[in-house]
């Protein structure tokens, strides 16, 4: 039974076009870093503002 | 396809030990959570007194920190390690070792807790000298930590034997993660054990006239930063090895998991100075060096975020999700069968905000804006009280009901709890972020002065932030109350008959590469030790050379120093 | 572990390499901006001052032309000085140390955010262009009255020189009250804190928690010093510890309180 299961799974791996590429995760990741960057820059500005009045 | 039939079954003694390690801290959490709710009420000025129902504010705050952030987190990590390592390496563990570990942790916890409740250790969980606690408090903490070390010592021979018997085979990822956790813990706790046993305990007994405050703070924070990875990494183990399967998919990359754990081994420890940016006695150059290292440790967390998102996407698409963002809708947010999913998922959502605020805190001079303000508890309630706490709650319920063959009661409530908790922490932290930016201090009984209209120190501009925080805290308390109800109902439910032997269902990997670089701990641990020494040698040497005057002891209640016994 | 049943796929997925690159660039940008702020703009953190002598009492030092140096002493549970008034446009070098335990020192609205440790010096620098009240808060738990510990810097366009309140006194009675810890909770400026202010206290009718009334005289002062738990005063938390003092010291303190009538 293990062999049959292995064959079923291996069939999928032969087709490169079937490979799972997590584009959605990449989009989320980019969006996450963008938001992080904006929040971080906000605090960066606040730090400079409080010391230098910028 | 998973091969579930295994010859190994968990030995009854280990089952008992794990159950105690999960249930005792949850019982203590009743008080730990109760005083969390009280704190937001004090801070909003709803309680304007030094104490409530016999417990002083700062005493309760000490208990809240020690119970929630030391006892609960450590005992859970040990229990999870016992469960995963014995299962994945298919081996019993030394009952003597696991039992001794538990006994020391329990003894230490009881000693520390007793001193706290007797009012003899109102020093907060950081126990900064020269505020002094009772010697039994320090001894209890030391015993507790030694108990946690012994857990690792019982696992090592099992692991080494497994490697010998399975040459060429990858160590199961869950095992790698738990070992990474406890290797980090071992490195982290050595300096604080020195601080407690060599510096603070003799001083608290009156044997030495004073303590080097700069050195003790530096040793504490050498420990204090990897402490947060000790909290996080067991949850990362759940994220990498359980979450994908709960989502209906596979872990996107096994290699990413291993690399992350190894990167944490290297980068967890040489960073503690970022908790001491405002301290004297440490050069700004070395504070800057450790800032760079701290920002580098953000990278394995970022890789983790991507890998988990990819794994979730895999599961979501298996479940029929589509589109660049639309697939998020297909995840099992309220599924009763995968009820553990929201505990892990909501933790991740909360962690997004915990992570970015952590990066802010570590960004050198940016810390000046928020150090020791309410911003800090706002940050760490989105980390230790976010993914870590939810993971502990969910996995404890999973392990307890599984090991006792009990059903999980009230499943609709069970899946709702993480969302209620998330609402609570977001509300709480919003209030405290705003308050922190307005200068509201942390660790302060605001109700007596700053939020008391009758006080000359009254700050009406802190009213809104403390009240938002209070609403959040009450919601969090409500979520925990629901959890305790579910837990007790599950424990009281009739045992399931004919339940299959308990196994923790772990995920398969989609990309399952064999990479030699992550197959052994030794090179990574070696680099970690060298890096720690490189990052700390000069600062510690300078502290010792500066020969700071030893500071005499004070009790929290008096400005007159405690006279020495001898 | 189940993964051993899957065929191994070689190499790190290209998408993961992309992710690592993005993360590294993000981190590098962050480090770069921090470095610019620190070395380009002088926005940094306290550093160690190994050769600076640590002062034992608070002081104001004028360096001419609205440049001032303030030595703040943090102690349970107040700052000395407790109030400083400076002209707008002043630059302040602040140095902080602690007399006893670890305290915090933050001038709200500025980047001066320091830890005050006993026998160690922490320094900060701030320029006050905007008039206003700037609160100083102790933000590190330092004992029972931590929440009472704060100070004020008032920046005013109406003054042209610095002045301060709450600096150390030369009065022997005052210093005895300080050494015995009384001033940790009792002010001498008329403002009640954890305990009533000594100023104006003598001869008052003090209402006790049980409703009875006692006059503040020598006998009452002695009773409070030796057995404070016997006579809790209404409106104040009953936290006063018994203070071990000789009869001479009690007499000296009683005279001091009488002086502040």
Q: What is the pLDDT of residues C92-129, one digit of tens each?
A: 999 999 999 999 999 999 999 999 999 999 999 999 99
- C155 shares a domain with C64: yes
| Domain of residue C223, residue span | 172-259
Q: Would you call B442 a catalytic residue per the annotation?
A: yes
Domain residues for B30?
12-546
- pLDDT confidence band for C261 (50 / 70 / 90): confident
Based on the structure, what is the number of domains in chain B? 1
Instruction: Select from C147, C165, C183 the last residue of a domain.
Output: C165
For residue B1, pLDDT over 50 is answered with no
| In a domain? residue C105 | yes
CATH of the domain at C227: 1.10.760.10
Six-digit token pair at B354?
Answer: 């915990």
Task: Work out the number of other CB atoms within 10 angstroms of the CB of residue B566.
Answer: 7
Contact call for A29 and B302, based on CB within 8 A: yes
Q: Are C125 and C219 within one domain?
A: no
Residue C241 has pLDDT above 90, yes or no: no
In DSSP terms, C105 is beta-bridged to C114
pLDDT band at C8 (very low <50, low <70, confident <90, very high): very low
Q: What is the pLDDT of residue B41?
A: 98
**Would you say residue B330 lies in a domain?**
yes
In the predicted structure, residue C9 carries a pLDDT above the cut 50: no
Q: What is the pTM of this model?
A: 0.92
pLDDT at B2 over 50: no
Confirm whether B166 is a catalytic residue: no
Instruction: Kindly state whether residue B275 falls inside one of the protein's structural domains.
Output: yes
Alpha carbons B206 and B229: distance in angstroms, whole number: 35
Do C152 and C82 share a domain, yes or no?
A: yes
| In chain B, residues 299-318 whose CB comes closer than 8 Å to chain A | 302, 305-306, 309-310, 312-314, 317
Q: Are residues C137 and C90 in the same domain?
A: yes
Asked if the structure places residue B1 within a domain, the reply is no
Residue B32, helix vs strand vs coil: helix
What are the chain B neighbours of A13 within 8 Å (beta carbons)?
none
Pick C106's closest partner by Cβ from B169, B302, B439.
B439
Q: State whether C131 and C225 are in the same domain.
A: no
Chain B positions touching A50 (Cβ under 8 A) are 368-369
| Contact in structure between C193 and C186 (CB atoms under 8 Å) | yes
pLDDT at B70 over 70: yes
Average pLDDT, chain C: 90
Cα(B192)–Cα(B145) distance, integer angstroms: 10
C-alpha span between A3 and B200 (Å, rounded): 63
Interface test with B, best of C39, C78, C82, C101 (most B CBs within 10 A): C101
Is B510's Cβ below 8 Å from some Cβ in A?
yes
Instruction: Examine residue B558 and state whether it is found in any structural domain, yes or no.
Output: no
Instruction: Report the Cα C183 to chain-centroid distance in Å.
Output: 14
User: Does residue C104 share a domain with residue C38?
Assistant: no
Which pLDDT does position C259 carry in this prediction? 87
Q: Give Cβ neighbours of residue A21 (< 8 Å, ≥ 6 apart).
A: C15
Does residue A7 have a pLDDT over 70?
A: no
Report how far apart, in Å, the C-alpha atoms of B362 and of each of A49, B39, B219, C124, C138 are.
19, 26, 18, 19, 21
Q: What is the DSSP string of chain C?
A: -GGGGSPP--S--HHHHHHHHHHHHHHHHHHHHHHIIIIIT--------TTSPPPSS-EEEE-STTEEEEEEEEETTEEESSEEEEETTEEEEEEEEESSS-EEEEETTSS-EEEE-BT--EEEEEEE-S-EEEEEE--S--STTGGG-EEEEEEESS-SS-EEES-----HHHHHHHHTTGGGT--SSS--SSS--STTTTTPEEEBTTS-EEE-SHHHHHHHHH-GGGSPBTTS-S-PPP----HHHHHHHHHHHHHT-
Written as one string, the DSSP assignment of B115-150 is HHHTTS--STTTT-TTB---HHHHHHHHHHHHHHHH
Chain B residues in contact with C38 (beta carbon < 8 A): 288, 364-365
Same domain? For C93 and C111 the reply is: yes
Instruction: Decide if B360 touches A, using CB distance below 8 A.
Output: yes
Residue C9: list chain B partners with CB under 8 A.
511-513
- pLDDT bin (cut points 50, 70, 90) of residue B64 is very high
In a domain, C2, yes or no: no
What is the mean predicted confidence (pLDDT) over C146-165? 95
C195 and C149, same structural domain? no
Residue B453 to residues B39, B46, B326, B462, C86: CA-CA distances in angstroms? 18, 12, 51, 12, 28
Q: Which two structure tokens, joined as six digits, stand for C197?
A: 């202010």
- B437 or C190: whose pLDDT is higher? B437
**Is B503 annotated in the active site?**
no
**For residue B526, pLDDT beyond 80:** yes
To the nearest whole Å, the CA of C109 is away from the closest chain A CA by 6
Domain boundary among C135, C165, C195: C165
B3 within a domain of the structure (yes/no): no
Report, as an integer, the average pLDDT of B364-379. 98
pLDDT at A6: 52
B298 and A CB contact within 8 Å: no
C242 and C161 fall within a common domain: no
Confidence class of residue A3 from pLDDT cuts 50, 70 and 90? low
* Catalytic residue list contains B225: yes
Considering the domain architecture, whether residues C84 and C19 belong to the same structural domain is answered as: no
At which residue do the structure tokens 């057995």 appear?
A: C227
Residue with the bigger pLDDT between B5 and B20: it is B20
| Binary contact (A29, C22; C-beta < 8 A) | yes
Distance of alpha carbon C181 from alpha carbon B556, whole angstroms = 12
ipTM value for the complex: 0.94
Q: pLDDT tier at B8 (50, 70, 90 boundaries)?
A: confident
CB interface of C with A, residues 75-104, below 8 Å: none
C147 and C206 in a common domain: no
CA distance C19 to chain A (A): 8
Residue B507 lies in a domain: yes
Residue B343 lies in a domain: yes
Q: What is the mean pLDDT of residues B273-277?
A: 97
pLDDT band for position A17 (50/70/90)?
A: low
Task: Give the chain B residue whose CA is nearest to the CA of A20.
Answer: B314
Same domain (yes/no): C147, C67 = yes
pLDDT in tens, C12-69: 678 888 899 999 999 999 999 999 999 999 999 999 887 778 999 999 999 989 999 9
C1 occurs within a structural domain: no
B407 belongs to a structural domain: yes
Instruction: Pick the last residue of a domain from C145, C165, C185.
Output: C165
- What is the number of domains present in chain C? 3
Determine the pLDDT at residue B259: 93
pLDDT tens digit sequence for B327-365: 999 999 999 999 999 999 999 999 999 999 999 999 999
Catalytic residue among B43, B217, B245, B442: B442
Return mean pLDDT, chain B: 95
CATH number, domain with residue B456: 1.20.210.10
List the beta bridge partners of residue C92: C68, C126
Assigned domain for C107 exists: yes
């Amino acid at each position: 039974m293990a062999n049959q299961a292995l064959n079923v799974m291996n069939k999928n791996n032969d087709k490169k076009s079937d490979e799972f590429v997590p584009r959605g995760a990449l989009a989320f990741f980019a969006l996450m870093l963008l938001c992080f960057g904006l929040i971080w820059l906000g605090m960066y500005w606040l730090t400079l503002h409080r010391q230098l009045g910028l | 396809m998973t091969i579930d039939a295994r010859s190994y079954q968990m030995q009854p003694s280990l089952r008992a030990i794990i159950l105690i390690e999960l249930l005792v801290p949850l019982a203590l959490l009743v008080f730990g959570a109760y005083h969390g709710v009280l704190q937001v009420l004090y801070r909003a000025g709803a309680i304007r007194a030094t104490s409530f129902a016999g417990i002083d504010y700062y005493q309760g705050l000490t208990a809240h920190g020690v119970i929630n952030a030391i006892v609960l987190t450590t005992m859970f990590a040990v229990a999870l390690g016992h469960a995963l390592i014995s299962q994945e390496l298919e081996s019993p563990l030394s009952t003597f070792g696991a039992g001794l570990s538990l006994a020391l942790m329990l003894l230490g916890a009881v000693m520390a807790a007793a001193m706290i409740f007797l009012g003899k250790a109102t020093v907060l969980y950081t126990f900064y000298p020269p505020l002094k606690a009772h010697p039994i408090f320090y001894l209890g903490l030391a015993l507790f930590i030694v108990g946690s070390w012994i857990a690792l010592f019982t696992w090592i021979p099992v692991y080494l034997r497994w490697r010998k018997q399975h040459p060429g085979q990858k160590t199961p990822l869950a095992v790698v993660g738990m070992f990474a956790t406890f290797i980090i813990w071992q490195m982290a706790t050595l300096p604080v054990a020195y601080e407690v046993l060599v510096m603070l305990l003799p001083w608290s007994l009156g044997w030495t006239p004073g303590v080097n405050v700069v050195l003790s703070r530096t040793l504490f924070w050498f420990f204090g930063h990897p402490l947060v990875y000790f909290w996080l990494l067991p949850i990362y183990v759940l994220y990498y090895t359980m979450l994908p399967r709960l989502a209906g998919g596979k872990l996107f990359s096994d290699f990413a998991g291993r690399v992350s754990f190894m990167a944490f081994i290297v980068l967890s420890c040489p960073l503690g100075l970022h908790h001491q940016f405002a301290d004297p006695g440490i050069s700004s150059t070395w504070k800057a060096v450790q800032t760079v290292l701290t920002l580098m440790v953000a990278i394995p967390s970022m890789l983790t975020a991507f890998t988990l998102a990819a794994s979730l996407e895999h599961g979501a698409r298996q479940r029929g999700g589509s589109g660049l963002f639309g697939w998020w809708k297909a995840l099992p947010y309220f599924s009763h069968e995968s009820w553990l999913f929201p505990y892990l998922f909501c933790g991740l959502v909360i962690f997004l905000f915990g992570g970015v605020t952590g990066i802010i805190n570590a960004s050198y001079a940016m810390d000046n804006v928020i150090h020791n303000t309410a911003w800090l508890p706002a940050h760490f309630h989105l980390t230790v009280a976010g993914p870590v706490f939810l993971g502990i709650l969910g996995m404890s319920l999973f392990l307890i009901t599984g090991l006792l063959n009990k059903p999980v009661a009230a499943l609709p409530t069970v899946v709702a709890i993480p969302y209620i908790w998330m609402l609570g922490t977001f509300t709480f932290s919003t209030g405290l972020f705003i308050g922190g930016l307005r200068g509201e201090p942390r660790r302060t009984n605001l109700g007596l002065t700053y939020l008391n209209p009758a006080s000359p120190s009254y700050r009406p501009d802190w009213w809104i932030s403390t009240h938002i925080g209070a609403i959040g805290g009450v919601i969090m308390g409500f979520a925990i109350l629901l959890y305790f109800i579910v837990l007790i109902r599950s424990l009281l439910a009739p045992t399931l008959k004919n339940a299959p032997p308990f196994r923790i269902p772990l995920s398969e990997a989609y990309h399952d590469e064999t990479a030699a670089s992550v197959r052994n701990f030794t090179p990574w641990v070696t680099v970690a030790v060298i890096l720690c020494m490189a990052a700390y040698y000069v600062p510690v040497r300078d502290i010792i050379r500066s020969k700071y005057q030893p500071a005499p002891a004070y009790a929290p209640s008096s400005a007159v120093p405690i006279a020495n016994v001898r | 572990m189940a993964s051993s049943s899957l065929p191994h796929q070689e190499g790190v997925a290209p998408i993961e390499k992309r992710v690592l690159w993005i993360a590294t660039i993000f981190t590098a940008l962050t480090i770069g901006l921090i470095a610019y702020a620190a070395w380009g703009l002088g926005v940094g953190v306290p550093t160690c001052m190994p050769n600076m002598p640590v002062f034992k009492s608070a002081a104001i030092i004028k360096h001419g032309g609205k440049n001032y140096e303030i030595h703040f002493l943090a102690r349970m549970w107040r700052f000395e000085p407790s109030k400083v008034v400076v002209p707008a446009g002043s630059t302040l070098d602040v140095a902080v140390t602690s007399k006893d335990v670890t305290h915090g020192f933050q001038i709200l609205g500025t980047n001066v955010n320091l830890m005050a440790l006993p026998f160690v010096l922490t320094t900060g620098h701030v320029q006050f262009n905007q008039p206003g009240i700037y609160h100083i808060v102790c933000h590190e738990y330092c004992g029972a009255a931590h929440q009472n510990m704060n100070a004020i810097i008032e920046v005013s366009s109406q003054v042209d020189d610095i002045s301060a309140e709450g600096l150390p006194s030369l009065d022997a009675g005052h210093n005895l009250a300080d050494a015995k810890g009384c001033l940790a909770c009792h002010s001498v400026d008329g403002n009640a804190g954890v305990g009533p202010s000594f100023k104006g206290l003598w001869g008052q009718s003090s209402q006790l928690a049980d409703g009875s009334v006692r006059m503040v005289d020598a006998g009452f002062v002695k009773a409070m010093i030796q057995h404070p738990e016997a006579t809790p005063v209404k409106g104040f938390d009953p936290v006063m510890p018994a203070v071990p003092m000789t009869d001479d010291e009690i007499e000296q303190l009683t005279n001091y309180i009488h002086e502040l009538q």
